[in-house]
């Protein structure tokens, strides 16, 4: 592996981890404000919420991309230039977003649902700055995504890259598609669709902004585009993490490498298709959306999640059941992360069932499930990779002190933090409230409870990432 890829990946890791700690602190401030333990004015709360959401989604997406790019170098040559451009544009885009939020007080939520960006309750310039920030991020990420696709398609044909030659049960194909290549390509296709959708959304928003009332957007179209982009991206970034697990889990556990079997090929191809329709479950309460689309939303939510979850759990269980595994912090993070991903997925499928959605829509059940598959799922996938990667930089041997303590703090802190969201959600406490009114009084108790456990989670994270940061910084500033 060329050193420049190690350097750029180290830079990504350092950036992601620093932003992660800041974003968790914003999350804690929100939770303790909801609990009445501290007092933020509502504008600060919603600014923090917007920046927290966008930063978290952004960093864990790029973390997945950086990991996939690093590992992809094992199979094909990737473009260092595209990786670097994406890094620079991400830093510039994040600075612009934070400027719009922290200085301009833009606070329309991470989904910036239309027409909120135009209900200007902040500095006038913050809305265009926010929209241009999205453009910068979108362009950088599109260049990176397309360049990774080009790298894969130079070596694999279309049917090979999607593992269609593996569909036959007893197939012995000439060219085997590694699961990592299959899942990466499927995720990249989804990511590109999201980014083009985001571009269309941004274009329509900017057009309305500059048209002085001459052009008005259709609210239903904008909501569909927003969730096509937002929901699908949140899913695809998980799949990027899973691609890494399919590659590294067996390797760091001292087990034989995983291969693409017919059911893995089928499951991921189904995901490729159905994940594009799952976002429709965000529209259940939009009665103007025809009923057929609502039903498609429910079916697609099941069909996108169940096959890929099924084969991943199966593969991991087969790998660990009754065999000796070299457990270390990397594969433990992958293992616990998969459990978190599945638990969050169950929470999501419950909410994506129309009859339940009547009760759970826009309650804290929603942040409950997406924080589960992020804070105890995708984040752990990437932390597992970061950990493994940082040891690659040193001597390749994974040894660590206090592993158990770190894991316990993250898991116990994480479970308590998430439980508070679930219990409050089941008690109909609405999401996105800076201060809970009397009708949702239980929300206050759960917020303090969740905030306390989230502090334990943060402690675990700080202990966990200390060594990784040290090794990555050391490598970035070394002369090798």
Partner 1 sequence: MFRLCLFTSIVMLTILPAQSLFSQSLGDFREEINIYNTLYDAPLHLVGGADVSLHELAKDKPIILALVFSRCSGVCNPLVLELKENLRMLNLQQELPYSVLVLSFDPWDKIEDMQYMAERFNLTNEPDWYFGVTDSINQVINSVGFKPIWDEKKKQFDHDALLAGVSTKGKMTKKLLGLRNSKDLRMLVQSINKVFIPSYRLPTNTSIFTCFNYDPETGKIVPGTGLLIIIMPVLITWLTVIGIRMAVRKKTT
Closer of 162 and 417 to ligand HEM (Cβ): 417
Among 197, 269, 343, 374, binds partner 1 (CB under 8 A): 197
Q: 3-state DSSP call for residue 385?
A: helix
Nearest to 373 by CA among 62, 67, 57: 57
Q: 24 contacts which partner out of ligand HEM, partner 1, none, CB within 5 to 8 A by kind?
A: ligand HEM
Alpha helices in 35-125 (DSSP H): 42-72, 80-98
Whether the Cβ atoms of residue 22 and residue 82 lie closer than 8 Å to each other = no
Q: Does 192 engage in binding with partner 1 (CB under 8 A)?
A: yes
Out of 22, 91, 139, 149, which residue is the one contacting partner 1 (CB under 8 A)? 149
How many chain residues are in contact with partner 1, going by CB under 8 A? Answer: 36
Contact between 79 and partner 1 per CB under 8 A: no
Q: Token pair of 319, please?
A: 């790998």
Selected range binding partner 1 among 57-65, 208-216, 375-383, 438-446, rule: CB under 8 A: 208-216
Picked from partner 1, ligand HEM, none, the partner binding residue 326 (CB below 5 to 8 A depending on kind) is none
Six token digits for residue 278 = 């799952």
355 binds partner 1 per the rule CB under 8 A: no
Restricting to residues 222-261, name those near partner 1 by CB under 8 A: 224-225, 228
User: Which residues, in sequence order, are bridge partners of residue 430?
Assistant: 363
Binding site for ligand HEM (CB under 6 A): 24, 27-28, 30-31, 49-50, 52-53, 56-57, 60, 109-111, 367, 371, 374-375, 379, 417, 431-432, 454, 457
Looking at beta carbons only, is 239 or 335 nearer to partner 1?
239
Does position 290 bind partner 1 by CB under 8 A? yes
Give, in order, the Cα–Cα distances in Å from 373 to each of 161, 355, 364, 376, 477: 27, 23, 15, 6, 34
Return the bridge partners of 363, or none: 430
- Binding partner 1 (rule: CB under 8 A), the pick from 171, 175, 216, 441 is 216
Q: CB-based contacts of 304: which residues, under 8 Å, 6+ apart?
A: 235, 270, 271, 274, 275, 277, 278
Which of 103-111, 263-271, 281-289, 405-413 is the region at the interface with partner 1 (rule: CB under 8 A)?
A: 281-289
Closer of 148 and 410 to ligand HEM (Cβ)? 410
Of 31 and 406, CB closest to ligand HEM: 31
Of 158, 169, 324, 480, the one binding partner 1 by CB under 8 A:
158
Q: Rule CB under 8 A: say whether 196 interacts with partner 1.
A: yes
Q: What is the DSSP string of 213-227?
A: TS----HHHHHHHHH
Q: Cβ of residue 77: shortest distance to partner 1, in angstroms?
A: 12
Q: Is 217 in the site for partner 1 (CB under 8 A)?
A: yes
Quick one: what does residue 57 bind among partner 1, ligand HEM, none, with the CB cut-off 5 to 8 Å set by partner type?
ligand HEM
Residue pair 145/188 in contact (Cβ under 8 Å)? The answer is yes
Out of ligand HEM, partner 1, none, what residue 411 binds, judged by CB under 5 to 8 A for its kind, is none
In terms of Cβ atoms closer than 10 Å to its own Cβ (0-12, 13-18, 19+), residue 229 is buried
Q: How far apart are CA 244 and CA 52, in angstroms?
A: 25
Rounded distance between C-alpha atoms, residue 269 and residue 151, angstroms = 20
> Is 82 in contact with 144 (CB distance < 8 Å)?
yes
Residue 183 binding target from partner 1, ligand HEM, none, CB below 5 to 8 Å by type? none
Residue 290 tokens, joined: 């025809």
Between 216 and 441, CB nearer to ligand HEM: 441
Q: Does 102 bind partner 1 (CB under 8 A)?
A: no
The residue (of 174 and 438) whose beta carbon lies closer to ligand HEM is: 438
The pair phi, psi for residue 79, each rounded to 5°, is -90, 120
CA pair distance 48, 42, nearest whole angstrom: 10
**Burial per residue of 104-120, b for 16 or more beta-carbon CB atoms within 10 angstroms, e otherwise:** bbbbbebbbebebbeee
Return the one option of partner 1, ligand HEM, none that residue 211 interacts with (CB less than 5 to 8 A, by type).
partner 1
Answer yes or no whether residue 439 interacts with partner 1 by CB under 8 A. Answer: no
Q: Under 8 Å CB-to-CB from 297, ≥6 apart: which residues?
A: 277, 278, 279, 280, 281, 282, 283, 284, 352
Check: CB of residue 228 under 8 Å from CB of residue 194.
Answer: yes
354 near partner 1, rule: CB under 8 A = no
Name the residue nearer to partner 1 (CB basis): 111 or 224. 224
Identify which of residues 288 and 397 has a Cβ nearer to partner 1 in the complex: 288
User: Rule CB under 8 A: is residue 153 a binding residue for partner 1?
Assistant: yes
Residue ranges in contact with partner 1 by CB under 8 A: 146, 149-150, 153-154, 157-158, 189, 192-194, 196-197, 200, 203-204, 207, 211-221, 224-225, 228, 276, 287-290
């Amino acid at each position: 592996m060329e050193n420049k890829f190690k350097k750029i990946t180290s830079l990504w890791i350092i950036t992601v981890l620093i932003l992660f700690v800041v974003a968790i602190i914003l999350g804690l401030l929100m939770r303790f404000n909801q609990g009445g333990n501290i007092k933020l004015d509502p504008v600060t709360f919603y600014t923090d919420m917007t920046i927290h959401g966008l930063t978290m989604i952004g960093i864990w997406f790029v973390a997945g991309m950086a990991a996939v790019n690093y590992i992809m170098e094992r199979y094909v040559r990737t473009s260092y230039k595209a990786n670097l451009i994406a890094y620079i544009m991400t830093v510039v885009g994040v600075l612009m977003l934070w400027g719009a939020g922290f200085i301009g007080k833009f606070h329309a939520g991470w989904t910036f649902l239309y027409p909120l960006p135009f209900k200007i309750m902040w500095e006038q310039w913050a809305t265009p700055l926010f929209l241009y920030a999205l453009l910068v991020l979108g362009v950088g990420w599109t260049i990176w995504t397309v360049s990774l696709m080009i790298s894969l398609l130079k070596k694999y044909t279309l049917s090979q890259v999607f593992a269609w030659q593996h569909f036959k049960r007893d197939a012995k194909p000439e060219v085997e598609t590694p699961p990592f290549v299959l899942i990466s390509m499927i995720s990249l296709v989804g990511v590109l669709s999201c980014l083009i959708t985001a571009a269309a959304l941004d274009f329509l928003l900017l057009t309305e902004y500059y048209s002085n009332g001459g052009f008005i957007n259709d609210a239903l179209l904008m909501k569909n585009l927003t969730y096509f982009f937002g929901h699908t991206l949140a899913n695809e970034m998980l799949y990027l993490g899973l691609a890494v697990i399919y590659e590294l889990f067996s390797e760091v556990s001292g087990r034989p490498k995983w291969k693409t079997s017919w059911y893995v090929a089928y499951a991921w191809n189904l995901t490729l298709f159905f994940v594009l329709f799952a976002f429709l479950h965000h529209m259940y309460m939009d009665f103007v959306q025809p009923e057929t689309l609502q039903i498609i939303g429910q079916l697609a939510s099941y069909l996108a999640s169940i096959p890929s979850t099924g084969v991943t759990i199966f593969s991991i269980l087969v790998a660990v059941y009754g065999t000796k595994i070299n457990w270390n912090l990397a594969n433990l993070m992958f293992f616990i992360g998969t459990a978190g991903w599945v638990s969050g997925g169950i929470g999501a499928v419950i909410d994506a069932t129309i009859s339940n959605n009547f009760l759970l829509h826009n309650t804290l059940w929603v942040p409950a499930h997406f924080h589960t598959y992020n804070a105890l799922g995708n984040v752990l996938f990437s932390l597992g990779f970061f950990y493994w990667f940082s040891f690659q930089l040193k001597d390749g041997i994974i040894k660590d002190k206090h592993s158990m303590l770190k894991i316990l703090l993250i898991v116990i802190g994480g479970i308590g933090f998430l439980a508070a969201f679930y219990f409050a959600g089941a008690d109909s406490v609405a999401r996105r409230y800076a201060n809970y009114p009397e009708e949702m009084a239980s929300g206050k108790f759960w917020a303090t409870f969740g905030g306390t456990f989230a502090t334990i989670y943060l402690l675990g994270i700080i202990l966990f990432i200390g060594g990784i940061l040290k090794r990555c910084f050391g490598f970035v500033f070394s002369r090798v």
